[in-house]
Amino acid sequence: MNASTKEYAYIIIGSGVAGSTVASKLLEADPQTSILMLEAGPKVAMKDRRYWWDYVVNRASGYKPYNHCEDRDADNPSVGKTDWHSNGSRTMMYGGSAVHWGGWCMRFKPEDFELKHKTGRGGDWPYGYDTLEPYYCRADEYLSVCGDETVQGPDGRWADDPWRSKPYPLPPYPWTESDGEMVESFKRLSIKPGHMPLARYRKCMATGSCKYCPFGARFSGAQTLDDLLSEPAYINLEFIGMAAATRLVALSKRSIGGVEYIDPDTGSPVVAMGDRVIVCSGAYEAPKLLMGSVSSHWKHGIGNDNDLVGRYAISHPFLSVTGTKKENKERWIQEYDFPSLMSRSYDTEKQQANGKIFLMKYAGSPNVDIADQMIRGNSRQAIDKKISGSRTIQLSAFMEEMGQYENRFTIGEGTNRFGLPRTRINFSHPEDFNSRAGVNLDLMQEVINDMGYDVDPIKGRKIGDQDGHHTSSTCRMGKDPTEGVVDADLKVFGTENLYVCSNAVHPTCAAVNPTLTLVAVSLKLTDHLLSQQL
């Protein structure tokens, strides 16, 4: 095994939104900072017109330029009572999973930081919403989030749920024409309609091809990395792709000296030495890396003396109610490739014990893919007939999930195509899950019925397959080592220089997309790291 002769101030494992954010802020503070960033996956060209045209023409078949980087069920065997699917949930590549992220940017609410205290289930954060709120504001600006206009009160706070100390940086995308009937239904049922907060720049051309944008109108970690690696001042930033991290090297119980990774040129293990190591590799890979780093100092893996690494795995159950009408007289089709209408009226403390839900109008309907119809050679008349035929509408929701000790990710047998160990997923819903989800589906069906749509009694109400899109909590924060794997500063308990910064550290996943919260947590971490240098 070779050892690098160069020692870095920081080694960052993973190049997604967390890793790129941390690197960006460290280098802003000191351009001379030496950073090694390791990424297990390859680089796929972004903002490339050729790739974009290929995607537009072939997207009906599921083609994306980064398909070969997306996760597969075969690499993550599910052994629990509830099947857990990983297909397409992560992208292992330059820029990480934010490459296929939808850009949704909702904050967690105050009660989300006290889930166990309020319900007896899941976990609590070691701090509350008020602590993270300033970092949410910075995350909004960093991601260029657009959202509902708000009014500033006499206390200086901006009226929103949850409260804000600053307004959204950009105005919201308007609702589409087809959103209108659901907006009116929301109002009749005392559900507050809102505009989806999005990390999409105003240059977005909204053609419905957001899974691969020709000019980067949605925030992505890949764009941040491009900027960092092309900046001449950052002479000590080094990036290595196709370099799977396989082990953390412990010099003592408290000191982590470096990272072993696979050299992409030779295929041999190499050790890089660093003063601080930050694991930003996500809720699948972070716990496996800690568990696999066994030594005389850590017999069960780093940070795992209390058998908490990999436990409490959660994601977002996806609920949907679909309705149909016989005709689409208005000839509505979905104008965006993302939802513009949402509501947090059932994402409240009152709903928390049952499992809060975040409502959104599904972006896939009503829709006829006109480009696909043309590619298939259908005539103008045939396409017109299809557009004005039956109309389908879907109301979707993410449902909050409470972490359970028994739900765990561990190291599986063999490795995947990037040299990372496979993930063994043991996950089971609690016995009351289906009944609680049914209560939420009833609330959603009320909207569909109010709009005058017929709900199919079999296909119209659905609890989606459990998948890994928003996996969290596998290295969760806690007040002490009996509650979690990392402390409030994301430092692994029992160490002095090892940090985890990914969705893995979130003790809860709330009812909303976790990416904005991850960026806020990443910004908080960089403030802590920079304070340690003073």
Is pTM beyond 0.75? Reply is yes
Per-residue pLDDT tens over the stretch 334-346: 888 889 999 999 9
Place of tokens 């100390």: 165
Region class of 371: left (phi > 0), else alpha (psi between -120 and 50), else beta = alpha
Place of tokens 């590799």: 281
pLDDT classification of 2: cutoffs 50, 70, 90: low
What does the alpha-carbon distance between residue 51 and residue 395 come to, in Å, rounded to a whole number?
A: 32
Return all residues near 200 (Cβ < 8 A) that are at least 6 apart: 103, 144, 146, 173, 217, 218, 219, 338
Cβ count within 10 A of residue 252: 12
DSSP code for 218: B
Say what the pLDDT of residue 204 is. Answer: 79
Amino acid 449 reads: N
- CATH superfamily for 2-531 is FAD/NAD(P)-binding domain (3.50.50.60)
Residue 534 has pLDDT above 60, yes or no: no
Per-residue pLDDT tens over the stretch 132-191: 999 999 999 999 999 998 888 888 888 888 999 999 999 999 999 999 999 999 999 999
What does the alpha-carbon distance between residue 344 and residue 321 come to, in Å, rounded to a whole number?
A: 17
Residue 195 has pLDDT above 70, yes or no: yes
- Give the distance, in angstroms, between the CA of residue 60 and the centroid of all CA atoms in the same chain: 24
Helix/strand/coil (H/E/C) assignment for every residue in 489-516? CCEECCCCCEEECCHHHCCCCCCCCCHH
Contact 213, 53 (CB under 8 A): no
Tokens coding 210:
């957001």
Q: How far is CA 311 from CA 137, 318, 484, 512, in A?
A: 31, 21, 9, 21
* Percentage above 70 pLDDT, the chain: 98
Residue 99 has pLDDT above 80, yes or no: yes
Say what the pLDDT of residue 59 is. Answer: 79
Closest CA to 94 of 242, 288, 268: 242
Say what the pLDDT of residue 20 is. Answer: 98
* Percentage above 90 pLDDT, the chain: 82
Return all residues near 78 (Cβ < 8 A) that are at least 6 apart: 84, 85, 425, 427
Q: What is the mean pLDDT of residues 261-286?
A: 97
Supply the DSSP string of 39-80, one letter for each residue. Answer: -SS-----S-HHHHHHHHHHGGGT--TTGGGB--GGGS-B-S
Say what the pLDDT of residue 178 is. Answer: 92
